[in-house]
Chains A and B, each alone.
Chain A
Amino acid sequence: MNRTLKITCITAALAFLLAGCPKEGAANPGEKVFRYPLVAKVKSLDTGNMTDVYENLVGSHICESLYTYHYLKRPFVLEPQLAESMPEISRDKLTYTIKIKKGVFFQDDACFPDGKGRELKAEDFVFAFKRIANIRYVSPNWGGFKDRLVGLDDFRNYTAQFKNEFEVDYSREVEGLRALDDYTLQIKLVKPWPQLLDDLTTVVAAPIPKEAVDMYQKDMIYHPIGTGPYYLKKWHKSVYLELVKNPNFRQEFYPAEGSLDDAQAGLLADAGKRLPFVDRIIFRIIEEEQPAWLLFMRGQLDMAGIPKDNFSSAVDLNALRPTKDMQKRDIELDVYDLPSIFYIGFNMHDPVLGKNKPLRQAISLAVDKQRLNELFYNGRWKVAHSLIHPEMNEYDPALVAAGFMKYDPQEARRLVAEAEKINGGPIPELSIGMGGGDTFSRQFGQFVERQIEAVGLKVKIDFTDWPTYTDRMNKGQMQIFGGGGVRFSTPDALGALAMFATKYFAPLGNSFFYSDPEYDKLYDQAEVMFPSDERTELYRRMERMVLQDYPGVFTNHRVQYTLRHGWVENFKPHPFLYGWLTYIDIDTEKQKSYKSLTKELETTKSE
């Protein structure tokens, strides 16, 4: 072979390689594919040990629970999912009798005889809950069940005698958790649990067929077997998850009830149509912002978050709509609240801070929350005036005027002088622990340091990796911890108040080590109360008690900004409903024409 021929062959091979490159996310004709980015890996799809948002998002499309939230109704309304109806609750609020839907089948899987999914039974819920109680299974979700169901804690103690989780006899009776027949589940509580139904909406409470656990054992993390609208087809841990429509999924329909706004937004156009609409869901794990953004702009992702650096080119913040360039591309903006609270926390066990309220108050007044919001969140988030999120029923609007979280450096300086008297001399240098050594954490640390030093205090920032930060925070080894945040998982504000109860000392949530016997007494009272004016009053009283004690600087509530291509239909953000993709539809014609649209726009631009 002469040299010219060799070069020709190599060039041809390279050209073939590049030209033959199939298009990303290519769908079969007429097939509806939804592509969504995840910014972190999904670690486990075993419902019993799912903990984070991404696991819940993926898992909720495969596995279902007894109840769910209505997709469109606001305020949030619970409705049955696998339950036939809302539960029958005894007068003393201690016994819940729940009827299970008949004719619901698990997805097909090798763990069932002939690989055919069997019908769902009440016993599958009993097994799933007992499995979480099994101490050898080491579920991170046990905390949610502890001291709640009659006999379940005893069952947990019983499991301690076994060497591994698979030796445990699940047929052992638990009084508070029984399948009365194939379609009736009975839950008996130790004390009233007003948030029970909200907690039963999470995928953690999904039923599990025992056959699956017997077969896959520890590898259940790769084999979610559920009754949901999709099943897991492919999972490449670092990059990709593919869910495909479950042929065994029962008949469920798009909601026909919604508000006038919903109707005007076209959210009721598909009312009564059979769910789900999308044939395949592809979750792509993309931890870097640039590739996710480029894929979205190329039309290879259907929705995306907005990188900080691209925010101004994507969003017209004054008008709260996409920029003209985005509008030309038929890209829409969704802005919605995520019930949450972000804070800089004080360790109340610290000898300097714990006994010096003026010092804590001075630090709180020294931090300009508005400026922090502008600098670090493009002014997108909400400045916090309270612990309880404004979207929650128990939110107290009077707290804005009360000004617990106001910015007042002058008053802060006065309080520092008072604090020094209590301390018996100048306040020693304070240490703020910051998790993560990335640019954001460093800039955040520097901002907080500058603000606090401006009122006459000395501060040093201690940067550590996230696991060390969490570990030290939970062990009370940090004086001040920066950049903390909690996203609430149910609409009940009790979660925000639990962060300050002594019985939930870290690692259970109270990382402030805040302890007030009176508050604890009120908390015990509040946690068994069902929604009422009296309870709202109690929640607000407790919130004020915490704010008056300044166990932290409460800075922001998170507001989510996402971009969505115009071909994604029926999207209505819901902060507590993870299985929302079931309701999404795709206009495939619009999706297909996107490439030519962008080419047209680029040609016009260059002209």
Chain B
Amino acid sequence: MTAYLIRRLIQMVPIVIGVLLATFVLFKLVGGDISQQIAGRNADAETIAEVRHEYGFDKPLFVGLEPLEGDAWETVKDKYTALVKEQIAAEAKAKDRPALPLSAFELELKAQRQWLGDLFDERLDTRQFAKVFSMITLDSQFLAHFKNAFTFDFGRALDREKISDKILQGVGPSLALTTPMFIGTLTISISLALVVAFLRGTAWDYSIVILCVAGMSLPYLSFIIFGQYFLAYKLDWFPIYYSPDRPMIYSLVLPWLIGVVAGLGGSLRFDRTIILDEIRSDYVRTAFAKGLATRKVLFKHVLKNAMIPIVTSVVLSIPHLVLGSFLLERFFGIPGLGYLMYEAVAARDFFILNAMTFIMALLIAFFTLVADICYAWVDPRVKFD
């Protein structure tokens, strides 16, 4: 068992690294420059350049160059600044549009890069390889991406709030919303599935299956709008919206109810199918033939054997509980992570998306391992070799 666990934990490392690579490519390379967005609508070129600097967007992507002692920038500064200005003007002329204004900071940065490039080429030409290698710096966006992830230092979001604070504040409400919903749906779904599977082919079975299909066909949003309007507004049974004036639990009861009702259809149909498969097995017929009580057959034998696929589905769903439920959170004002993720997507806040993707990758990898361990718990035939 220990050897198996260690092996699986080691296997998780390339998965997590793979996710980090994918997020780097997606958010840094494909996502584009978001410094303008951070700097604000009316920010000038200097401010945008400063944002690039503050968030490390001006660092080289993978590897960069660094001047060595004795490489005096000041002596060539004017020459290279003039060169860059010329290049920008020529580029603008070729595109037949005025050159975009650059701040002094940005201009110097560009000029310095040009100088470093020339310096590097010159040393390559003269084969000063020791100096060439000493100029290479690994202080890059790529390394920072990995370092930040592994140290859980996700920095600040576009609104300048610490991402770790946002996640820590959101995880509680999200779990408070989704965990009871999940447990409620699971319990009701398995119990009802056992009953309808036992009563298969009867009017009860057909009615419940029809209700499930109807429930699955209705959009989630309609459950929310209906529940909020009738149960909260018209009947005044529940609060319409979360208010920090009172404990959050009061504002969670209606979303739980809506979540359970809306999620029951799909879950019940899945569990019913699994249990029906089991109920048709030879050993069940044998058990009934031997005169075992229905309750004992269903709960001791059928349920235990049906648990293997159910446990897989359940354990793999657990990481997603952390993400909350975007629609319920938005309509009922629950400050959870579902809402946070939605806003991050809408605002292109790659910092939050990056952090959440990494955390989700870790959770999914971990709970996949837990699911495998649970197999052995529910099915004694499974052995860890």
| Chain A contact residues, CB within 8 Å of chain B | 17-18, 21-22, 24-26, 41, 43-44, 49, 51, 135-136, 138-144, 146, 156-157, 160, 218, 221, 234, 236-240, 284-288, 290-291, 294-295, 297-298, 300, 349, 351, 465-468, 470-471, 474, 476, 502, 505, 507-509, 513, 515
Contacts of A142 in B (CB 8 A): 43-44, 46-47
B331 interface contact, C-beta 8 A: yes
A139, B47: Cβ atoms under 8 Å?
yes
B211 interface contact, C-beta 8 A: no
Contacts of B46 in A (CB 8 A): 135, 142, 156
How long is the Cα–Cα vector from A423 to B169 in the complex, in angstroms? 58
B246, A300: Cβ atoms under 8 Å?
no
Interface 9-mer from B56-64, B195-203, B225-233, B276-284:
B225-233
- Known contacts A21-B246, A239-B335; decide if A140 and B104 are in contact (CB<8 Å): no
B238 interface contact, C-beta 8 A: yes
How long is the Cα–Cα vector from A508 to B45 in the complex, in angstroms? 9
- Known contacts A237-B335, A239-B335, A467-B347; decide if A294 and B228 are in contact (CB<8 Å): yes
Q: Closest chain A residue to B332 by CB distance? A: A291
Q: Which of B43, B237, B240, B340 contacts A291 (CB 8 A)?
A: B240
- Known contacts A21-B250, A43-B159, A237-B161; decide if A507 and B41 are in contact (CB<8 Å): yes
Other than the known A239-B333, A295-B241, A507-B44, what 17 A-B pairs have Cβ atoms closer than 8 Å? A22-B245, A135-B46, A135-B47, A136-B54, A138-B51, A141-B40, A142-B43, A239-B243, A284-B241, A286-B241, A290-B228, A291-B331, A294-B240, A295-B240, A298-B240, A351-B96, A507-B41
B373 interface contact, C-beta 8 A: no
How long is the Cα–Cα vector from A513 to B98 in the complex, in angstroms? 9
Chain B, residues 112-142, CB within 8 Å of chain A (1/0): the string is 0000000000000000000000000000000
How long is the Cα–Cα vector from A240 to B248 in the complex, in angstroms? 13
How long is the Cα–Cα vector from A75 to B330 in the complex, in angstroms? 40
Contacts of B241 in A (CB 8 A): 24, 284, 286, 291, 294-295
A51, B41: Cβ atoms under 8 Å?
yes
Sample 19 A-B pairs with CB under 8 A, ordered by A number. A22-B250, A24-B243, A24-B245, A25-B243, A41-B159, A43-B160, A49-B160, A140-B41, A141-B42, A239-B333, A284-B333, A290-B225, A291-B240, A291-B332, A294-B241, A298-B240, A351-B96, A507-B36, A515-B98
Q: Closest chain A residue to B34 by CB distance? A: A467
B98, A218: Cβ atoms under 8 Å?
no
Q: Closest chain B residue to A509 by CB distance? A: B42
A507, B335: Cβ atoms under 8 Å?
no
B339 interface contact, C-beta 8 A: yes
Chain B, residues 85-97, CB within 8 Å of chain A (1/0): the string is 0000000000011
Q: Which of B39, B96, B98, B101 contacts A140 (CB 8 A)?
A: B39
B243, A507: Cβ atoms under 8 Å?
no
Contacts of A157 in B (CB 8 A): 104
Q: Closest chain A residue to B33 by CB distance? A: A471
A44, B34: Cβ atoms under 8 Å?
no
B32 interface contact, C-beta 8 A: yes
B249 interface contact, C-beta 8 A: yes
Chain B CB within 10 Å, residue with most, of A290, A349, A502? A290
How long is the Cα–Cα vector from A41 to B40 in the complex, in angstroms? 16
Question: From residue 330 to 369 of chain B, which have CB atoms closer than 8 A to chain A?
Answer: 330-333, 335, 339-340, 343, 345-348
A138, B54: Cβ atoms under 8 Å?
yes
A17, B244: Cβ atoms under 8 Å?
no
Q: Closest chain A residue to B158 by CB distance? A: A43
B348, A465: Cβ atoms under 8 Å?
yes
B330, A287: Cβ atoms under 8 Å?
yes
Name the distance in Å between A499's Cβ and chain B's nearest Cβ: 11
Name the distance in Å between A331's Cβ and chain B's nearest Cβ: 16
Q: Closest chain B residue to A292 by CB distance? A: B241
Contacts of A240 in B (CB 8 A): 243-244
A470, B243: Cβ atoms under 8 Å?
no
Q: Closest chain B residue to A472 by CB distance? A: B32
How long is the Cα–Cα vector from A513 to B37 in the complex, in angstroms? 19
Contacts of B48 in A (CB 8 A): 507
- Known contacts A24-B245, A221-B161; decide if A294 and B229 are in contact (CB<8 Å): yes
A138, B253: Cβ atoms under 8 Å?
no
Q: Closest chain A residue to B335 by CB distance? A: A238
Name the distance in Å between B89's Cβ and chain A's nearest Cβ: 16
B253, A17: Cβ atoms under 8 Å?
yes
Question: From residue 153 to 168 of chain B, which have CB atoms closer than 8 A to chain A?
Answer: 156, 159-161, 166
Q: Which of A17, A238, A513 contacts B97 (CB 8 A)?
A: A513
Name the distance in Å between B167's Cβ and chain A's nearest Cβ: 12
Contacts of A146 in B (CB 8 A): 44
A508, B44: Cβ atoms under 8 Å?
yes
Name the distance in Å between B40's Cβ and chain A's nearest Cβ: 3
Contacts of B205 in A (CB 8 A): none
Q: Which of A25, A144, A156, A160 contacts B245 (CB 8 A)?
A: A25
How long is the Cα–Cα vector from A21 to B240 in the complex, in angstroms? 12
Name the distance in Å between A101's Cβ and chain B's nearest Cβ: 31
Q: Which of B33, B43, B225, B253 contacts A143 (CB 8 A)?
A: B43
Name the distance in Å between A440's Cβ and chain B's nearest Cβ: 14
B36, A474: Cβ atoms under 8 Å?
yes
